Amino acid sequence: MNESGLHTIGGWVRDRARASADRIAVDDRGVVLSYRDLDERSSALADAFRAAGYVVGDRVATLTGNSSDHVVVFFACARAGLVLVPLSWRLSPRELATQLAVADPTLLLVEDECETLAGDATARLAAAALPTALPSTLPRTMLGARGVESRVPAPRRADATDEPGHVGRARSVQDDDALLLVFTSGTLGQPKGVVLTHANCFWTNLSLAAMVELTSADVVLSVMPQYHVGGWNIQPLLAWNVGATVVLERTFDPGRVLQLIQDRRISTMMGVPANYLFLAQHPLFAGADLSSLKHALVGGAPMPAPLLRTWHARGVALTQGYGLTEASPNVLYLPDEDARSMVGYAGKPYPHVQVAVADPLTGEHLTGAGFGELLVRGPNVFSGYFRAPAETAAALRDGWLHTGDLVRRDDRGYYAIVDRISEIYTSGGESIAPAEVENVVFEHAAVADVAVIGVPDDRWGEVGVAFVVLRPGHPAEQQAIDEQQILAHTRAELARFKVPAFVRFLPELPRSHSGKVQRRELLARWQRASVSGSPVSGSAVSTGTGSAS
């Protein structure tokens, strides 16, 4: 078997190794991997997978931090037509067992640090007595030279019809074959397995290449976890295609990242708003040498305008973008030249991406300036949720991916992300977008971080609660003063019905593994506190006045 599709990804490293074999492809905590080594190791592992009986479409799950060994596995899977299922090491054994049951992998690859977690998860999987014909024991081995690269375990098989040679399975790799199965964050419900094909990943990287000037001279800092689509398709894969160096980080530590930018002369990176917030708040930020950082991307959530201005003031072209896993993920991009004049916007569609704005109630597509749900279509849009036809049909309708995100489009065709439709709350008949309120609250000098949710209210239906993290130097005894200042500032900037009814102070906001605020957890805390009559957090809590009165 080999790759015969025009847009398959496995050949990228092979082609790059021919052109620049000795160039460093991966810098993994100081241990470097050249393009020659990456090509040879991934090719050998792909051959070993095939020899062991793995066939196109088989799924290989991984439980590991960002590592060069994981990059080898990715390209081996791409070459052999296997589907990489990167699982989050931040999940509980129960959550991992659920995802393993959904993904139904033939093999699980685990790094040393995750061995106990993997054992607990697979034990739960075996004990679940799920209605499957598969053996209860999932083959498991380590990544790297001491593990799967020295011996590939036989794949887990349900029956003889799934063995190598089964008609339609033993064949060359095609564009529409699955490459990644990535689980959504589950911030709004149960995580779903998003299937991304070789063609999806090819086109999203082609779009990125058209807007981001990435060359072999670049040094890319990758802090996004490799169980997230951004860990592959937002800069790393493109970097390996053009011969750049990718510096891998296992976890996000603001102080270390600032030091890496200086020491490794990082030229570009990508992060979520929380990453840039924590960097800007770090004591080293003001004096850090950021001269090599020519460009930085932000995605995952709307970026507060004051935070964008903070980075622009340091001379970094930090530009807002928008994407989602189901779109591989790139959808909207704001060019550097627009970054300062279009603060708060996510930009225009990437090349090869089509978007539309639909009325959330009628579904009618709007023309010109408008406000509604963002729809996406193009070769970057996923093929569906794994073994979930109903969920797939709900997301892909009439040829469009329905994102569930509200946007505002101006008369020049620029898009601003307003909020998730499901996170909009209604107070006194007025719809309120939490992101709009958060942007205003964040402008207050005392606020380090904020999230706004709607909570039930007998009089108004729902009212807003602002969960605020104070900047250092604002102890608990000052919170009553800060709350009144925050509310006064918000009243001066927003219509009265948008002003939060309550302010609650937390030491930090609960976030998902991808950095998104876990609003369901904030709502659960509010509900528990309402039942018990206790504060939401252990710190002193003040109550604001009703915003809709």
pLDDT tens column, 531-546: 766 556 433 333 333 3
In the predicted model, is pLDDT for residue 158 greater than 80? no
Candidates 323, 314, 277, 296; CA nearest to 438 is 277
Residue 135 has what pLDDT?
53
According to CATH, the topology of domain 424-532 is: GMP Synthetase; Chain A, domain 3 (3.30.300)
- Segment 36-40 mean pLDDT: 98
Amino acid at 272: V
Residue 152 has what pLDDT?
97
Residue 543 has what pLDDT?
33
- Segment 435-444 mean pLDDT: 88
Q: How far apart are CA 335 and CA 346, in angstroms?
A: 9
**Ordered alpha helix ranges (H), 153-300:** 198-211, 230-233, 236-242, 254-263, 273-281
pLDDT tens column, 251-305: 899 999 999 999 999 999 999 888 998 899 999 999 999 999 988 998 876 677 7
Is 110 in contact with 93 (CB distance < 8 Å)? no
Residue 115 phi, psi dihedral angles, 5° rounding = -65, -45
Residue that the structure tokens 């699980």 belong to: 108
Mean pLDDT of the residues in the chain: 87
Domain regions of the chain by residue span: 37-173, 201-421, 424-532
Q: What percent of the chain has pLDDT over 90?
A: 60
Domains 201-421 and 424-532 share a fold: no
Residue 2 has what pLDDT?
66
Distance of CA 508 to the CA centre of its chain: 20
Q: Report the CATH number of the 37-173 domain.
A: 3.40.50.980
pLDDT tens column, 45-80: 999 999 999 999 999 999 999 999 999 999 999 999
In this structure, the number of other CB atoms found within 10 A of the CB of residue 492 comes to 9
Strand order in the sheet with 295-298: 31-34, 24-28, 245-248, 219-222, 268-271, 295-298, 318-323, 330-333, 348-349
Is 372 in contact with 357 (CB distance < 8 Å)? yes
Q: Taken in order 493, 494, 496, 502, is the CA torsion positive or negative?
A: negative
Q: How far apart are CA 261 and CA 407, in angstroms?
A: 33
Q: Report the CATH number of the 201-421 domain.
A: 3.40.50.12780
The two tokens of residue 98 are 């659920």
In the predicted model, is pLDDT for residue 25 greater than 90? yes
Residue 164 has what pLDDT?
35
